[in-house]
Amino acid sequence: MKNKQNQITIIYILISLVLAIVCFKVIPKYATLDQFSLIILFKDFLFILLSGLILRYVLYKNDIKNSAIFEKLKKKNDDIKESNERYDIVSKATSDTIWDWKILEDKMIWNKGIEKLFGYKQDQIGESSKWWFDKIHPEDSIKMSIKLYSFIEQKTEKWQDQYRFKCADGSYKYVLDRGFILKDEEGKSVRMIGAIQDITKQKIEEQRLKLLETVITQTKDSVIITEPDLLEGNIPRIVYVNPAFSLMSGYDSDEIIGKSPNIFQGPNSDNEEFKKLIYAIKNHQECQIETISYKKNKEEYWVKYSMSPVYNSDGELSHWVSIQRDITADKKQEVEKEQLIRELTQNNKDLQQFSYITSHNLRAPLSNLTGLLNLMEDIPIENPELKEILDGFNKSTHLLNETINDLVKVIIIKDNPSIKKEEVMLKEIFENVFSQLNFLIGLHKPIIKFDFDKVAFLNTNKSYLESILLNLLTNSIKYKSETRKSKISITANQIGDTVILIFKDNGIGIDLVRNRDKVFGLYQRFHDYPDSKGLGLYLVKSQVETMGGTINIESTVNIGTTFTITFKNKYI
């Protein structure tokens, strides 16, 4: 440009010089002296006019050129302004975080999205790429750096990556980062602009779906998914089976997809169950089916499955999901169990019958003995030795009778798990018990206190309660301390609908450290007492439990024993 200006200037000077020399040489030859000064003046005017015209032309040309440049620049400026405005609008409108990285200077700027998405205030944001890399989850950072640098070095054309970005609160968000690069005239990467999108929700959903998929593929239960509608009366076509199904049935997924599960049916399949299934599918109802199914090799197996409708977001039936389980082993076990129960029930019945027959056969001669002894009571016996023998005979018979009666009670309790209850007056029951123990009470004279003020009536089985109290009271009197006056207290309390009977004595007690687990056992005797049968507490516990109650014992050797009996006092 400058060269052109110099050229024009030199040409102008040269033309001017030539004109001046020409005028100097020519004018003196043709002009008179008078005319000389006039001609010189005319020449100068002419030269000035010519110079002015040339200058005007040059200025005019220049003006046109400048104006075109100005217009061009103005337009470019407007374009840039508009583009900047657009960028501002887009960056405001998008939920993405936009970053701008001047690579050579390592300067990085972020738009306001960084605060919206990740909670960073402007003063928390670093100015270099280091700040960015520091925020990337350590597990993702290496992989991400490799991809990014290979992009910058132009080994790849596009760059996008997923990684976890740390928020201001320390948590991480899954992000999708996409960027493009700006190059200088030499094609070197100088600037990179990117947009970060929060994909945490998608990622969580993706993980959830992956988990669900894992469940379906890993579960031991077979899963079949079918189309929604019946196919000419057949079960809808299969669209998916999981590996467990292939394992169970022997069918690979590609040989079964697109077919109706009707092919699992066979001669021994339950037709009623099939009808039930078709009905449920027709009516879009969930159902449970148990039937015999057939494997690919035609082997039978018992299968139990559910068939559940699946609806899409528009509420339309989209599929059926069936969860199936091979229950062949369970079925076999069930049959065996039933057989075992039948056998046990029969055995039990036989044993029960045996116990009744045995009891009868023992009781029959025993009743004769008792009857005969009763008759002998009226016959005077002179011989003291015979009298003693008969006394022993009498006592033994009596004890045998009691034992057999107790055994019979046990048999009857075990045979009758539910018993009839009635409303009884506690005091009345105790009076009955006392009258039966008249002899024993008269002999040992224990101090007996009872308090039934709080529970006058009890809904119970009268004969069981009598038997329980008779046994406990007999024990307390029999196993009294030799050194202390025997004291027995019986109290009844009611809490809500629970009645608590507390039976306490100061007798010789039972060593519970050694015997706690045996106390209520059958044929357990803890004291060397001649007519102890080892049946009493077993009978008591059986009777309490048959009435739906519980019994507990606390005892200390040589201090005493406390029995706590609880049962529900319900009036049905």
* Residues forming the site for other proteins (CB under 8 A): 353, 356, 359-360, 363-368, 370-372, 374-375, 378, 408, 411-412, 415-416
Q: Provide the minimum distance between the beta carbon of 357 and other proteins in the complex, in angstroms, as a whole number.
A: 8
Q: Assess contact for 235 and 278: CB atoms under 8 A.
A: yes
Distance CA 141, CA 129 (A): 13
Which residues lie below 8 Å from residue 265, measured CB to CB, with a gap of 6+?
Answer: 274, 293, 294
* Cβ neighbourhood burial of 146 (10 Å; 0-12, 13-18, 19+): exposed
Q: Are strands 447-451 and 487-495 parallel, antiparallel or unpaired?
A: parallel
Cβ proximity to other proteins: between 34 and 422 the closer is: 422
Q: Provide the minimum distance between the beta carbon of 346 and other proteins in the complex, in angstroms, as a whole number.
A: 16
From 159, 173, 201, 191, select the one nearest 114 (Cα to Cα): 173
A 10 A CB-CB count for 174 gives 20
Cβ proximity to other proteins: between 317 and 408 the closer is: 408
- Reading the block at residue 79, the tokens are 């374009």
Distance CA 373, CA 377 (A): 6
Q: Provide the minimum distance between the beta carbon of 356 and other proteins in the complex, in angstroms, as a whole number.
A: 4
Q: Assess contact for 535 and 403: CB atoms under 8 A.
A: yes
Please, which residues bridge with residue 238 across strands?
Answer: 226
Question: What one-character DSSP code corresponds to residue 567?
Answer: E
Q: Provide the minimum distance between the beta carbon of 546 and other proteins in the complex, in angstroms, as a whole number.
A: 14
Exposure b/e, 221-256, CB count within 10 A at least 16 = b: bbbbbbbbeeeeeebbbbeebbbbbbebbebeeeeb
Cβ proximity to other proteins: between 80 and 357 the closer is: 357
Cβ proximity to other proteins: between 64 and 351 the closer is: 351
Cβ proximity to other proteins: between 396 and 494 the closer is: 396
Give, to the nearest 10 degrees, the angle between helix 328-376 and helix 384-415: 150
Q: Assess contact for 451 and 491: CB atoms under 8 A.
A: yes
Q: Provide the minimum distance between the beta carbon of 468 and other proteins in the complex, in angstroms, as a whole number.
A: 20
Cβ proximity to other proteins: between 141 and 397 the closer is: 397
Cβ proximity to other proteins: between 209 and 372 the closer is: 372
Q: Provide the minimum distance between the beta carbon of 471 and other proteins in the complex, in angstroms, as a whole number.
A: 19
Cβ proximity to other proteins: between 67 and 352 the closer is: 352
Helix, strand, coil content of the chain in percent (nearest 5)? 50, 20, 25
Q: Provide the minimum distance between the beta carbon of 325 and other proteins in the complex, in angstroms, as a whole number.
A: 44
Can you give 18-57 as a three-state secondary structure string? Answer: HHHHHHHHHHHHHCCHHHHHHHHHHHHHHHHHHHHHHHHH
Distance CA 45, CA 26 (A): 17
Q: Assess contact for 331 and 302: CB atoms under 8 A.
A: yes
A 10 A CB-CB count for 423 gives 11
Q: Provide the minimum distance between the beta carbon of 407 and other proteins in the complex, in angstroms, as a whole number.
A: 9
Cβ proximity to other proteins: between 128 and 353 the closer is: 353
Q: Provide the minimum distance between the beta carbon of 367 and other proteins in the complex, in angstroms, as a whole number.
A: 4
Q: Provide the minimum distance between the beta carbon of 420 and other proteins in the complex, in angstroms, as a whole number.
A: 12
Cβ proximity to other proteins: between 240 and 393 the closer is: 393
Cβ proximity to other proteins: between 214 and 353 the closer is: 353
Which residues lie below 8 Å from residue 477, measured CB to CB, with a gap of 6+?
Answer: 437, 440, 441, 444, 446, 486, 488
Give, to the nearest 10 degrees, the angle between helix 536-546 and helix 384-415: 30
Helix (H, G, I), strand (E, B) or coil at 327: coil
Cβ proximity to other proteins: between 415 and 497 the closer is: 415
